[in-house]
A and B are shown apart, each in its own frame.
Chain A
Amino acid sequence: MKTHEVVIQPGRSEKHYWRDLWKNRELLYILSMRDISVRYKQTILGTSWSLIRPLTTMLIMVFVFSKVAKLKGDPGIPYPLMVLAGITIWTFFANAFTQISTCITANSNLVTKVYFPRLIMPLSSIVVSFIDFLIALGLFVLIAIWYQFWPDWHILFLPLFMVLALLASFAFGLIFAVLNVRFRDIAQLIPFLVQVGFYACPIAYSSRLVAGESWYPLYILNPLVGIIDGFRWSLLGENAFFNPTSIVYSVLIISVVLVISVYFFRKRENTFVDDI
């Protein structure tokens, strides 16, 4: 057997970091399982909460924006389906982003007592949020069947937008996670950001409504715009508004932020415990 050698030096990241990360995949699985199984302990409704929440949000949105504010959806698409598609992908992003941002401090009992590649924690936040997302997507399918709405070939692009949403939450979440270790202000800031994001992104309305505005070029610099529009487009077809330029922006911005945030995280992760 080959002996396992480790050199510890300031600023020196583990040589076999990515291999270590792969070796710890069981830990990733177990931490994710922990978060999933713990969440609905001592609740009466149990896992059905993960259906109740998006469903009620959708009903409120439909009531407020469609019946009260009388916003127009995309032509040929039932307004509730449009909203639900937006809510589904946004909720995934927002949950994953929020949980990644606070994952280090939430697991401080582990961070201060054992070593493992710290990226396991944000990854496990993603796994948990992704499972919620799959449940919400199932809900969407049921409601689409209710409206007798069938997807077409656009659905083939769905995984692309899911992956982009995942990478976006990871990229932005990591930076906030590192900052939150040192500055707990971040934990206060996040719900606020998520709330602003909800209205800044085309969730309750279609991007078609703002496409003519003079500030539209700025609007699509928000990487979530392209992802949400694209997600809708792949689920609901050609009638849903989708500007291909916006997804190009999304890919570019997310790639840059992802590289920076992983670098930043790796640089700081060895001393999380000193600030926590």
Chain B
Amino acid sequence: MTTTSHGVRDVPVTDAVLEVDGLTVEFPTEDGTVRAVRGVGYRLDRGESLGIVGESGSGKSVTALAVMGLLPGTARVGGSVRFEGTELLGLSDARLSDLRGSGIAMIFQDPMTSLNPVHTVGHQITETLQRHHPGLNRRTARARAVELLGTVGIPGPERRVDAYPHELSGGMRQRVVIAIAMANDPDVIIADEPTTALDVTVQAQILEALQTARAETGAALVLITHDLGVVAGHTDRVAVMYAGRIVETGSVEDIFYTPRMPYTLGLLGSLPRLDRDEERLTPITGSPPSLLNLPPGCPFAPRCPLRRDTCDDTEPALRPVGPEPHFSACHFAAELADTGAEDVFDTVGADAEALARYADATTPDEPPKDTV
């Protein structure tokens, strides 16, 4: 385990809460098989936080749902997902549901649709409490629900506990979802684009509530987002996904200071810089490939400014680059040392450095974490 998994630090097995190895997900459709996830692996230590970044359709949400065992019945899942050493793939739904919510909790993208409109938010919290603590009586559960609502920053939780979802704003609803996620002290929280559907002004508050939830429960966090800015401030490590694979992974500093994959460089180049306003953004031209009948070779090649002939023939494996636990899936990763987006893509303007500094400054307050 210590050497096979991709982009994982060499630490003793005992500390891993979640290990994903060689995960594949395929969806049969009328037009053929969509290979949504093609061999994803990562490892999450107790209390650690991992950011998974990628465009929509890169397979990051599907990976999360596969871990939860919540993919539709038509999906074909392969590989391995271990939670505290227990293999989850192939486990019965009954066994899995004992784990969901108590071992691994999940937060979804759209708070407007995540809560059942016909039940009060209090009911939706107590429901998960009582599910995992069968002896819990109604009054205690309700008191705990009020407490949880207070913890995630909902004002007047005694009143709000009886509110229906439609009576709350989007930001408030996402706080409720976070309260549900932390209700049973999970060991892992998977947050799938928790801020994407929200107003920019609310996003920071929600991320703060998420950090509170982590601090309270000591849970490890998988933060899925397409926003590198979110990752920079809230996770220890980053995995960049493209076309169903992890194409680069490393510490936040590695990814922002010394990216070794042109796609990552492109992502950094697309970030607006705050300090130099005359600079332009560096876009990645084109769009991600269809995961149906993916051609051989590097899936990023058609959009890659560094593309050479090899790129069309063989898909690069995820290989270590540099001394740190930093991995990249590019044939020419070595050549990319000390390269900025402006060197690779057409326009100057990426502010990778500024972001890296930001990452340094705001590296999350380490929750109980003894393995760094």
To the question of whether A and B form a pair in one complex, the answer is: no
Interface residues of A (CB under 8 A from B): none
